[in-house]
Structure 1
Amino acid sequence: MKERNILISSSKDTFIKFWDLDTEHNFRTLVGHRSEVWGFALLKNDQYIITGCNDSELRVWKIFFVDENDPDYTKNIESLDIHSEDDVNDTNYPLRCNKVGSVLRMGRSRVVSLVTDPTCTVIGCHGVDNTVELFYMIPDDEVKIKLNKRLKKEKKKAIKDGEENGGTLDQSVCLVDEVRQLSVIKAMNKVKTLDLVMGKGGELRICIGVNNNSLELHSLSVNDKEKEPTSLRLIKAHGHRTDIRAICFSSDNLAIATASGDSIKLWNRPSLACLRTIECGYALTATFVPGDRHLIVGMKDGKMLIVDIASGEILEEVAAHTKELWSITLFPDLKGIASGGDQTVKLWNFELVEDPNSEMKCKILSVLNTRTLQLEETVLCVKISPNNRFLAVSLIDSTVKIFFLDTFKFFVSLYGHKLPVLCMDISSDSTLIATGSSDRNIKIWGMDFGDCHKSLFAHDDSVTGLAFVPKTHYLFTCGKDGKVKEWDGDNFRKIVTLQGHFGQAWNCAISPNGLFVASCGSDKVIRLYERSMEPLVLEDEAEEEREKQDNELATGETSAVQGQKQQLLPSRKTVNTEKAADLILECLDVIKAYNEELSRVIPPNAAPPLPLLMQAFNCKTTDEYLLETFKRVRAGDMEETLLLLPYSAACDILKYLPKLLENDYQSEMLSRLALSLIQAHHGPIIANSDLLPNLEEVRDLAMKRINDLRDTVGYNLHGMAFIQRSIEENESIQLFRDATKTRKQKNKIRKNKERGLKRAIIAL
Structure 2
Amino acid sequence: MISTTCKNELKIWNTRTQQCIRSLHSEYGLKCIFISGNKHVLVATKQGSLMLYDLLGSRLLQKYLAHDGPAYSMDLCPDKSGVASGGGDACVKFWTFDLVMNAKTGEKELSLKLTKTLKVQDEALCVKYSPDGKFIVVSLLDCTIQLFNAQTLKFHLTLYGHKLPTFTLDISSDSQLLISGSADKNIKIWGINHGDCHKSIFAHSDSIMGLRFVPKTHYFFSCGKDRIIKYWDGDKFRKIQEFSNSHKNEVWDIAINSTGQLLCSGSGDRSISLWMESDEPLFPLEEERKELESKFDENLDNEDKFDRKPSAIEKSGIIEFKEVDKPTRKNMDAIDRAEYLMECMTEWKNKEAKKSAATEFMYGVIRNIPTSQMEEIILILPFQNGIDWLLGYLMDILSCDQNEKGTIDKSRGDMEKCVKLCLCIVEIHYQRFLGTYNLELFRCLKTLSILCRQNLTDYKRTIGHNLETFAYLQDLMKSKAEYAFGTFQRDKNLFINAQKDKLVETWDDKDNDVDEEMEM
Q: How does 1:430-579 map to 2 (within 5 A)?
A: 430-499=175-244, 500-551=246-297, 572-579=325-332
- Aligned AA (1:283): G
Aligned partner of 2:143 among 395, 398, 415: 398
Call closer, same or farther: CA 1:653–1:347 in 2, change over 3 Å.
Answer: farther
Does the 8 Å CA contact 1:577/1:641 hold for their aligned counterparts?
no
Does the 8 Å CA contact 1:256/1:267 hold for their aligned counterparts?
yes
State the secondary structure of the residue aligned to 2:64. Answer: strand
Aligned partner of 1:344 among 87, 91, 98: 91
Call closer, same or farther: CA 1:584–1:702 in 2, change over 3 Å.
Answer: farther
Does the 8 Å CA contact 2:338/2:377 hold for their aligned counterparts?
no
Q: How does 1:585-624 map to 2 (within 5 A)?
A: none
Identify unmatched segments of 5+ residues in structure 1. Answer: 1-254, 557-569, 590-621, 710-764
CA distance in 1, matches of 2:415, 2:271: 46
- Aligned AA (1:493): R
CA distance in 2, matches of 1:389, 1:400: 16
Partner of 1:642: 378
Q: How does 1:188-199 map to 2 (within 5 A)?
A: none
Aligned partner of 1:315 among 45, 58, 61: 61
Partner of 2:155: 410
Aligned partner of 1:673 among 421, 425, 434: 421
CA distance in 2, matches of 1:526, 1:572: 31
CA distance in 1, matches of 2:21, 2:418: 55
Does the 8 Å CA contact 1:336/1:347 hold for their aligned counterparts?
yes
Does the 8 Å CA contact 1:346/1:371 hold for their aligned counterparts?
yes
- Aligned AA (1:630): T
Structure 1 vs Structure 2: percent identity of aligned residues? 37
Does the 8 Å CA contact 1:518/1:529 hold for their aligned counterparts?
yes
Call closer, same or farther: CA 1:575–1:410 in 2, change over 3 Å.
Answer: farther
Does the 8 Å CA contact 1:587/1:626 hold for their aligned counterparts?
no
CA distance in 2, matches of 1:680, 1:402: 43
Does the 8 Å CA contact 2:334/2:376 hold for their aligned counterparts?
no
Call closer, same or farther: CA 1:581–1:286 in 2, change over 3 Å.
Answer: same
Aligned partner of 1:630 among 371, 380, 405: 371
Shift of 1:572: 3.4
Shift of 1:586: 10
CA distance in 2, matches of 1:450, 1:656: 54
CA distance in 1, matches of 2:108, 2:150: 30
Call closer, same or farther: CA 1:588–1:286 in 2, change over 3 Å.
Answer: closer
Call closer, same or farther: CA 1:584–1:309 in 2, change over 3 Å.
Answer: closer
Partner of 2:15: 269
- Aligned AA (1:529): W
- Aligned AA (1:536): L
Normalized per residue, the structure richer in helix is: 2
State the secondary structure of the residue aligned to 2:37. Answer: coil
Shift of 1:267: 1.9
- Report Cα offsets for 1:340-395 as digits up to 9, x if no partner: 1122110000000111231xx11010010000112231111100111212111111
Does the 8 Å CA contact 1:402/1:412 hold for their aligned counterparts?
yes
Does the 8 Å CA contact 2:74/2:83 hold for their aligned counterparts?
yes
Task: State which structure, 1 or 2, has the greater radius of gyration over its C-alpha atoms.
Answer: 1
Whether 1:306 aligns to 2:52 is yes
CA distance in 2, matches of 1:680, 1:498: 29
Partner of 1:581: 334
Does the 8 Å CA contact 2:326/2:379 hold for their aligned counterparts?
no
Shift of 1:449: 1.8
Shift of 1:582: 3.4
Does the 8 Å CA contact 1:584/1:630 hold for their aligned counterparts?
no
Does the 8 Å CA contact 2:42/2:50 hold for their aligned counterparts?
yes
TM-score (norm 2): 0.67
Call closer, same or farther: CA 1:418–1:257 in 2, change over 3 Å.
Answer: same
Q: How does 1:161-240 map to 2 (within 5 A)?
A: none
Partner of 1:700: 454
Aligned length in residues = 399
Does the 8 Å CA contact 2:143/2:165 hold for their aligned counterparts?
yes
Q: How does 1:79-98 map to 2 (within 5 A)?
A: none
CA distance in 1, matches of 2:328, 2:409: 28
Does the 8 Å CA contact 1:578/1:641 hold for their aligned counterparts?
no
- Aligned AA (1:572): D
- Report Cα offsets for 1:412-464 as digits up to 9, x if no partner: 11222121111111111111111111111111111122122111111121111
Does the 8 Å CA contact 2:92/2:124 hold for their aligned counterparts?
yes
State the secondary structure of the residue aligned to 1:639. Answer: helix
Whether 1:278 aligns to 2:46 is no
Shift of 1:706: 7.7
CA distance in 2, matches of 1:506, 1:587: 19
Partner of 1:422: 167
- Report Cα offsets for 1:287-345 as digits up to 9, x if no partner: 11131111111112111111111121111111112222111101111110001112211
State the secondary structure of the residue aligned to 2:259. Answer: coil
Call closer, same or farther: CA 1:276–1:586 in 2, change over 3 Å.
Answer: closer
- Aligned AA (1:675): L
Does the 8 Å CA contact 2:338/2:380 hold for their aligned counterparts?
no
Call closer, same or farther: CA 1:434–1:574 in 2, change over 3 Å.
Answer: farther
